[in-house]
Amino acid sequence: NLLCASCAALTAVLPGFFLKGFSVLGSHLTWLCVCSVCVGSLNVILHLVLKPNQSPKRSSFSHKISRFLKCCIYFFMSCILFHAIIVLYGAPLIESVTETFLFAVLLSTFTTLQCLCMLGPNIQAWIRVFSKNGAMSIWESSLQITSICSILGAWFGAFPIPLDWDRPWQVWPISCSLGATFGYVAGLIIAPLWIHWNRKQVTYKSR
């Protein structure tokens, strides 16, 4: 969690050393791409290294390829679904299409990609984890908390946009994407604290 939180924070600083004139507000589309790629890549690498939900059965190469392709399709469908939901919530339909889609990619990276890494392309497992008291392990509890915090952060980030403050960060979708990022980082911090506080309940459910 600490690595993922640090990665999300560093994407706002490190690209400035390599890209001239880079800033989160001034080069927001670039930052959205950098943040999505870096956080997504780190999640995939950590999953391959830690293997939190590795199946005891060895799967064939063709099964792994099929699983990978399904994950790619699910991620793309998630981006489209988030894009549609964002538009239904008031985002411009025709204008700022690129901004809206990249924001949807960022949300998918914070939520769907983690589900694909931990649960795979298994919709029934997703429904179980995100149902009430459905998380059966510390990994699933962390997934549940970080995903919810990311979406709530994006939702709260939309509140300042209609206000007539005329601030640069009110331009769509800067405040929403920053809110989603802050929510994601907050979820990464809250998750281990919540798990530690409720460790007896989580341990009992995992058994």
Distance CA(100)–CA(94), nearest Å, equals 10
Q: Note the pLDDT of residue 156.
A: 95
Number of C-beta neighbours around residue 176 at 10 A: 26
Peptide bond into 160 cis (omega under 30): no
Q: Note the pLDDT of residue 158.
A: 92
CB 4 within 8 Å of CB 188: yes
Distance CA(83)–CA(77), nearest Å, equals 10
Angle at 25 between CA 19 and CA 28, to 5 degrees: 65
Distance CA(33)–CA(38), nearest Å, equals 8
Supply 42's token pair: 């780190």
pTM beyond 0.85, yes or no: yes
Q: Note the pLDDT of residue 33.
A: 95
146, containing H or E segment:
helix 138-157
Q: Note the pLDDT of residue 59.
A: 66
Distance CA(25)–CA(122), nearest Å, equals 37
Q: Note the pLDDT of residue 203.
A: 55
CB 105 within 8 Å of CB 56: no
Q: Which residues of the chain have pLDDT under 70?
A: 52-59, 199-207
Q: How far is CA 37 from CA 33, 59, 133, 161, in A?
A: 6, 28, 31, 26
Distance CA(95)–CA(172), nearest Å, equals 10
107, containing H or E segment:
helix 97-110
Q: Note the pLDDT of residue 58.
A: 58
Distance CA(164)–CA(180), nearest Å, equals 22
Region of residue 19 (left: phi > 0; alpha: psi -120 to 50; beta: else): beta
Distance CA(5)–CA(204), nearest Å, equals 28
Please name the residue ranges forming H helices in 57-96.
61-88
Q: How far is CA 171 from CA 24, 29, 45, 118, 199, in A?
A: 12, 12, 33, 34, 42
Q: Note the pLDDT of residue 49.
A: 86
